[in-house]
Structure 1
Amino acid sequence: MEWHKVVFAVAIAYLIGSIPIGYLIGRAHGVNILQHGSGRTGGTNVLRALGFGPAALTVLGDALKAAAAIALARHILLTGELGAALAGAAAIIGHNWSVFLKFRGGAGGMSTAAGLIALNAYVGVPMVVIAAIVFYLSRYASVATLTASVGGLAALTVILLAFPAVAHWEHLVYGFLTSLACVWALRPNIQRLLAGTERRVTRW
């Protein structure tokens, strides 16, 4: 493995992930999304502040960031699966702690799910469906994010053990790092969930 390519891919992926889509969309509407609601740049906060259309654009942009980072590493820089996994994780870290916003950002749910699909659709697609169902039933964006991240890591582990022909051990690196990133970013939400004070998403 050419490690200089992996390092370059990770650095570029972090910058790609750091592009604050929700913040930019908010600014285009004359709103500083960092000063609304949770102060995060993800689709949930944009939905609450600006409505469905801007939120949908935010979700799409956040998803494309992770997928683009993985595609860059895998198909252009040819880093192999470990490089792709590390680049995907770097994009999530960039999304959550953007260098362009003094290390503020989102929680990484949509980016994590899109990256999981890009890495391994056998795991990613079912997990996105499950996370969507969890969100629909609970209306908790934080629970859906945890489902996509921690659940994705669990699903990757099961698939790797049961069907090694359709999985790569390197993908566990992505699952582990993104789970840590999402759980860390969602610490306030987890505390509110435990206290029964977490806000549900009710605006569509």
Structure 2
Amino acid sequence: MARKKDRRIDDVGTLKALAHPLRMRLFRALYLERVATASRLAELVDEAVSLVSYHLRKLAEHGLIEEAEPQSEDGRERWWQPASDGVSIHEEDFRDAPEKVAAHTAASRLFYEQRGELYLRHLDERPHWGPEWNSAAIDSEYLPRMTAAELADLSRELDALIRKHNEQARARAAAGETEGRENVALHVYGFPFRP
């Protein structure tokens, strides 16, 4: 199957499939591994292989992941890979019915909670990363006054910039430049609020 550059999730069924705490952790782990077995993913998320296999099949039913070419001679294990280079979820696809709004809100809350947990873990582990990584890490808050159109423009520019750097990093890694390379989480939120 040809991989899609990005997968836009615009149906409630797929959104609910991804918005399960363990499935989201598995999807994130598989995204980082690129190709893995249920056994490897079970190690990464500290869950039973049978439970992980079940949830991987659910992700596959919704086209979020797919079977990959075997990476070993052992034919007993299934290999999995993400079905696309990324996923995106847009509020506009879920605003036309109350149940869709509720599903999108619940999913967004779960994603935020998991991202928050990841950042809190980083804070706890920060002393072990050393000065180079700690100096490079980003922890900023900006409070500009913008219009919705200006925020949308900023969002597009940030997305393009992040994608450019991600593609460059992947190309360098593929070329063998792996020394000092780590997974990096970059969470960006931009939203209106009133004090």
Bigger CA radius of gyration: 2
| TM-score using structure 1 length | 0.29
Name the one with the larger helix percent. 1
| TM-score using structure 2 length | 0.30
